Amino acid sequence: MRMTAFGARGSMVAAIGQGTWRLDDASRSGAMDALRKGLDAGMTHVDTAEMYGEAEPLVADAIEGRRDEVFLVSKVLPQNAGKTRAIAACERSLKRLRTDRLDCYLLHWRGSVPLAETIEAFETLVADGKILSWGVSNFDVRDLEEAVAIAGAGRIACNQVLYHLEERAIEHAVLPWCEDRGVALVAYSPFGSGDFPDASSESGAVLEAVAKEAGATARQVALAFLTRRPSVLTIPKASRVAHALDNAGAGDLELSAEQLVRIDAAFPLGPKPRYLPMI
Ligand code: NAP
pLDDT in tens, 115-174: 999 999 999 999 999 999 999 999 999 999 999 999 999 999 999 999 999 999 999 999
The reported pLDDT for the residue numbered 233 is 98
Q: Is the entire prediction scored with pTM above 0.95?
A: yes
**Ligand 1 pocket test: which of 72, 76, 167, 189 has the largest number of ligand atoms within 8 Å of its C-beta?**
189
Q: What is the pLDDT of residues 236-264, one digit of tens each?
A: 999 999 999 999 999 999 999 999 999 99
Percent of the chain with pLDDT over 70: 100
Contact 65, 45 (CB under 8 A): no
pLDDT band for position 10 (cuts 50, 70, 90): confident
State the distance from the centre of ligand 1 to the C-alpha of 236, rounded, in angstroms: 5
43-83 pLDDT, tens digit each: 999 999 999 999 999 999 999 999 999 999 999 999 999 99
**Residue 148 contacts residue 116 (beta carbons within 8 Å):** no
Cα–Cα nearest to 3, from 223, 251, 224, 260: 251
- The answer for residues whose C-beta is within 8 angstroms of residue 35's C-beta and 6 or more apart is 18, 20, 23, 46, 58, 59, 62, 63, 244
Name all residues whose Cβ lies below 6 A of ligand 1.
19-21, 47, 108, 137-138, 160, 188-194, 219, 235-240, 243, 246-247, 278-279
171-180 pLDDT per residue, tens: 999 999 999 9
For domain 3-197+230-244, the question of CATH label 3.30.70.2740 is answered with: no
